[in-house]
Amino acid sequence: MTESLSAENLCKSYGDARALDGVSLSAGEGECVGIFGLSGSGKTVLLRILAGDEAADSGDVSRPVGPVGFARRSPFLNGDLTASEAMWLYAALYEISRGKRRTAIRDVLALVGLESQRDRRIRRLSAGARKQLEIARAILCPAKVIILDEPMADLDAEMRRRLWEHLLSARAYGGKTVIIATSRAEDADLCDRVILLHEGRVIAEGTPTELRNAVGPEALVVRPLDTRKGGQRSIWSGILETEEEDNSVVVEVNPQSPPVEILRRIPCEPSAIRISRRGLDSVLDELAAKAGGEG
């Protein structure tokens, strides 16, 4: 995979407060990378530096020549221009040919659900609509790198679905590099690779599956057909992990212990079986606590 954007040992402080503490990362062409962390972890500062909106105190950033499609967390656009006029202005700045601008603007406004408000002045748009217009501005940019700061926050489920479909298609078929900062575990789960950021430091990175495996196995939840037997711990031959209120039994699943093999060891007939996946938010909590303890 060809590297599209990289950063090495980025540090940034505001007075005595250190926002970034030696952050290094890379993102390849056709890759969607999630920067996952809680509020105050340094995500916004990191993205502003990656996009060229702000300079680091130290460290290096390598990005493609030309503009980067960057959507800020807080809406950037305001004033008396209409939504379509603002997009026309940016299409000109992005050097999109006049013959393609109208179609490009129409498509991007439709994508973010603003086609019916295209002639409305930006200052009269709601905060949510201005956020959608900010995302549209970033997507309109023909750059090979798209950087979005909390793009899914405050969007409804249908809008998030449509935006994710577009972003994943742009990276898969357009070869674009997509970098998303998010505090939503469900968004991080859709990324090819996730970087966990905590107190300005990278504490782990990998695919969602790799990050889950780093802190422990997922679980198989089995509800016995005979719930009375489910409560008899002795029959589970040491494979019992925890027991839930409905007498379901939670069994750890390691990569070396496929669920089918575990089920063969269970001495009672199950009435229901499900896989309990570890959420990336709990992974972040565990690794952050471990990093704090080591510090």
Question: pLDDT of 135-182, one tens digit each?
Answer: 999 999 999 999 999 999 888 899 899 999 999 999 988 899 999 999
Q: What is the pLDDT of residue 293?
A: 62
> Is the same domain home to 84 and 199?
yes
Average pLDDT, the chain: 83
Same domain, 113 and 25: yes
Q: Which of 179, 212, 245 is the last residue of a domain?
A: 212
Stronger pLDDT, 27 or 243, i.e. the higher one: 27
With residue 43 as reference, give the H or E element that holds it.
helix 43-51
Q: What are the pLDDT digits (tens) for 45-100?
A: 999 999 999 999 999 999 988 889 999 887 777 778 999 999 999 999 999 999 99
- Is residue 270 located within the same domain as residue 170? no
Q: Which two tokens stand for residue 217?
A: 């196995």
Instruction: Kindly state the average pLDDT of the residues 204-231.
Output: 70
- Give the separation between CA 61 and CA 55, rounded to whole angstroms: 10
Which of 73-77, 103-107, 204-208 shows the lowest mean pLDDT across its residues? Answer: 73-77
Between CA 161 and CA 145, with CA 199 as vertex, the angle to 5 degrees is 45
**Domain match, 166 and 259 both:** no
Q: Tell me, yes or no, whether 14 and 149 share the same domain.
A: yes
Q: Within a domain: residue 121?
A: yes
Identify the domain boundary among 212, 230, 246: 212
Buried b (16+ CB within 10 A) or exposed e, 245-261: eeebbebbbeeeeeeee
pLDDT band at 6 (very low <50, low <70, confident <90, very high): very high
* Domain final position from 184, 212, 240: 212
Same domain, 12 and 137: yes
Can you give the residue range of the structural domain that contains 172? 3-212
pTM of the predicted model over 0.95? no
Domain for residue 194, yes or no? Answer: yes
> Is residue 283 domain-resident?
no
Q: Which residue from 223, 226, 225, 179 is spatially nearest to 205, judged by alpha carbons?
A: 179
